[in-house]
């Protein structure tokens, strides 16, 4: 829910400051189905009975690595996506440092406290590595309950991408000595 809120905030900020929603259609993502598939796998490993399968956390870590790689691949193409890549990389680092599971603060873990771990999540404890990168940021349950600093950075990145997506890119200026692609003759 945090990511959806970030998307809406970025679009609204872009539109209210002079951008146009139609400009977002000019975003040129490569292989967008890859992101959709990765997000479906990520949610399925958390919210379905797949979360009970031992080893499923490695599939989650692989999809997270795929999302990091995809965002890095788009840094030159999509303004602001580097922020998404940085946040996703923070999440990947903490997940890899904790056996392919995202640690969650006990106060925010709910039923997870009784089980210890489920799918890609594990209750944070004394043996948790990089706990400051784990899910410890409390938000209202309607927005998801617990987020990591990486999630917050991803959300800021999504808002930034959405904001810039409403803007037209300036036409590139020709290099010195190069003829412009458009020749405009102003009548006298």
The sheet that has 121-123: what strands, in order across it?
102-104, 121-123, 117-118
Which residue would you say has higher pLDDT here, 11 or 176? 11
Task: Judge whether 43 lies within some domain.
Answer: yes
Q: What is the mean pLDDT of residues 15-44?
A: 88
Which residue would you say has higher pLDDT here, 86 or 29? 86
The partner residues of 137 in beta bridges, in order of sequence, read 147
Q: For 31-75, write each residue's pLDDT tens digit.
A: 888 889 888 887 777 766 666 777 788 988 999 999 999 999 999
Identify whether the C-beta of residue 57 lies closer than 8 Å to the C-beta of residue 100: yes
CA 163-42-10 angle, 5° bins: 10
Q: Which two tokens stand for residue 61?
A: 């870590």
Q: How many domains does the chain have?
A: 1
Query: What pLDDT, on the 0 to 100 scale, is given for residue 60?
Result: 87
Half-sphere exposure of 162 (CA within 13 A, CB side): 19
Cite the beta strand spans of the chain per DSSP E.
102-104, 117-118, 121-123, 137-138, 146-147
* DSSP secondary structure letters along 54-90: TTHHHHHHHHHHHHHHHHHHTTTTSTTHHHHHHHHHH
How much is the pTM?
Answer: 0.82
Show Cβ contacts of residue 134 under 8 Å, excluding neighbours closer than 6 positions. 94, 98, 102, 103, 104, 105, 124, 128, 148
Q: For 65-119, write each residue's pLDDT tens digit.
A: 999 999 999 999 999 999 999 999 999 999 999 999 899 998 887 776 676 666 6
- In this structure, what are the phi and psi dihedrals at residue 156, rounded to the nearest 5 degrees? -60, -40
Which residue would you say has higher pLDDT here, 122 or 82? 82
Computed over its alpha carbons, how large is the radius of gyration of the chain?
20
Query: What pLDDT, on the 0 to 100 scale, is given for residue 74?
Result: 93
Query: What pLDDT, on the 0 to 100 scale, is given for residue 188?
Result: 55
The pLDDT confidence band at residue 2, using thresholds 50, 70 and 90, is: confident
Q: For 127-184, write each residue's pLDDT tens digit.
A: 999 999 999 998 877 767 789 999 999 999 999 999 999 997 655 566 666 655 555 5
Q: Whole domain around residue 7: which residue ranges?
A: 2-165
Task: Judge whether 187 lies within some domain.
Answer: no
């Amino acid at each position: 829910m945090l990511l959806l809120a970030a998307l809406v905030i970025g679009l609204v900020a872009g539109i209210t400051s002079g951008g146009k929603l139609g400009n977002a259609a000019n975003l040129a993502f490569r292989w967008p189905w890859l992101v959709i598939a990765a997000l479906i796998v990520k949610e399925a490993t958390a919210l379905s009975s797949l979360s009970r399968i031992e080893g499923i956390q490695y599939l989650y870590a692989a999809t997270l690595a795929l999302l990091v790689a995809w965002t890095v691949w788009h840094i030159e193409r999509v303004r602001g996506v580097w922020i998404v890549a940085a946040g996703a990389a923070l999440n990947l680092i903490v997940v890899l440092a904790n056996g392919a599971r995202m640690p969650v603060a006990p106060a925010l873990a709910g039923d997870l406290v009784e089980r210890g771990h489920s799918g890609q999540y594990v209750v944070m404890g004394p043996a948790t590595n990089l706990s400051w990168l784990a899910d410890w940021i409390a938000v209202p349950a309607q927005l998801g309950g617990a987020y990591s600093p990486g999630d917050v950075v991803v959300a800021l990145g999504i808002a930034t991408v959405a904001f810039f997506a409403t803007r037209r890119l300036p036409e590139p200026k020709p290099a010195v000595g190069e003829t412009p692609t458009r020749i405009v003759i102003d009548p006298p």
